[in-house]
Amino acid sequence: MALTLYVDTARWRAHQQTVIQQFPGIVPVCKGNGYGFGHERLAEEAARVGSDILAVGTTYEAARMKDFFSGDLLVLTPFRRGEEPVPLPDRVIRSVSSVDGVYGLVNARVVIEVMSSMKRHGVTEEDLPKLHAAIENVRLEGFAIHLPLDRTDGLDAVEEVIAWMDRLRAARLPLHTMFVSHLKAEELARLQQQFPQTRFRARIGTRLWLGDHDSTEYRGSVLDVTRVAKGDRFGYRQQKAASDGHLVVVAGGTSHGVGLEAPKALHGVMPRAKGVARAGLATVNRNLSPFVWAGKQRWFAEPPHMQVSILFVPSDVQAPQVGDELVAHLRHTTTQFDRLLDR
């Protein structure tokens, strides 16, 4: 009995092809938990479509991925002096976000990140004159810019990239390759048309692997079903059942990522109101689970355990049977499945 990720492989790969065609020279991204599919599987997919490069999050991920992917590996986390050395092959490219970082990577292959409106990391306009001497001792693979997802100030994403292209050109720095993130296909085409001598390469993860939500589905197997009457005590904390119904034990707990939720940026009155309502229910131990039965998400009977969750199904709903599978609405980037099945 397991928490299973089912993949409609033909549909999933058809979506990949659509994205690849929209973004010539795409750099697939495989970081974290491999967007829910795992590093080995995404390395296999990247190789299958003929990608010459794969972006990973950290040097530790690069060390693992080198055995699964034979092309170049681009590490997205910037190099810092004093970081733990990790043995890596020459085909690994390091991102750098400071002049000091460039000086610390003598003879290495590097991509220099510029500071975007994200204001996360990157070299600044004031740093550019210092880069001339610094890049003499590295193998410069190009520059990179990581753009925000949302824009509230009206600044066009293409305009932000153009502004940096103009700064780099004015500083007489090489502009043969620019790695970009979070651009639309038409925006990338505009840039390529305006700067034909530069190769723009889009680093894409979420849109490539998770862009077609209907191509994947998580399901948890039902392990046990127990009838309870109102007032019966159950579970670790011996709470009382609020009404008659069934306790349904389903595969999928905290070790799988069930019950974990990343903070969300809420915009607008309605989303904020729903957030307040959820918080209020949680104070009285009412937490909605990601598991669906009979067309509705069911409530947790108590907080999820390490490998299973216990749900409450009211008496007016026919209970599932042991061996049934419940669809689970889970976030790929925080979920660890027991098995993946192609179909």
Q: What is the CATH number of the domain that holds 179?
A: 3.20.20.10
Among candidate residues 211, 243, 266, the one where a domain is terminated? 211
- Residues 274, 324 share a domain: yes
Is there a domain that residue 3 lies in?
no
- Residues 224, 201 share a domain: no
- Residues 142, 50 share a domain: yes
The beta-carbon contacts of 312-318 under 8 Å, at least 24 apart in sequence, are 312/241, 312/242, 312/245, 312/246, 312/247, 312/248, 313/245, 313/246, 313/248, 314/243, 314/244, 314/245, 315/243, 315/244, 315/245, 315/246, 317/245, 317/293, 318/294
Is there a domain that residue 226 lies in?
yes
Supply the pTM of this predicted model: 0.90
pLDDT for position 9: 98
Cα distances (Å, whole numbers) of residue 307 to 221, 249, 251, 302, 328: 12, 10, 6, 14, 14
- Residues 273, 178 share a domain: no
pLDDT for position 276: 38
Q: Where are the alpha helices (DSSP H) in the chain?
A: 9-22, 39-48, 59-65, 99-103, 128-134, 157-170, 185-194, 206-210, 269-282
What is the largest distance, in Å, between two alpha-carbon atoms of the chain?
77
- Residues 31, 108 share a domain: yes
Two tokens, residue 312: 């409450």
Is there a domain that residue 248 lies in?
yes
The low-confidence residues of the chain, meaning pLDDT below 70, are 261-286
Is there a domain that residue 271 lies in?
yes
Among candidate residues 193, 211, 229, the one where a domain is terminated? 211
Two tokens, residue 125: 């306009």
Is there a domain that residue 2 lies in?
no
- Residues 194, 76 share a domain: yes
- Residues 220, 201 share a domain: no
Among candidate residues 211, 232, 260, the one where a domain is terminated? 211
- Residues 39, 145 share a domain: yes
- Residues 262, 113 share a domain: no
Tell me the residue range of the domain where 231 lies: 216-342
- Residues 303, 158 share a domain: no
Two tokens, residue 263: 């903070």
- Residues 180, 80 share a domain: yes
pLDDT for position 142: 98
- Residues 205, 220 share a domain: no
Q: How many domains does the chain have?
A: 2
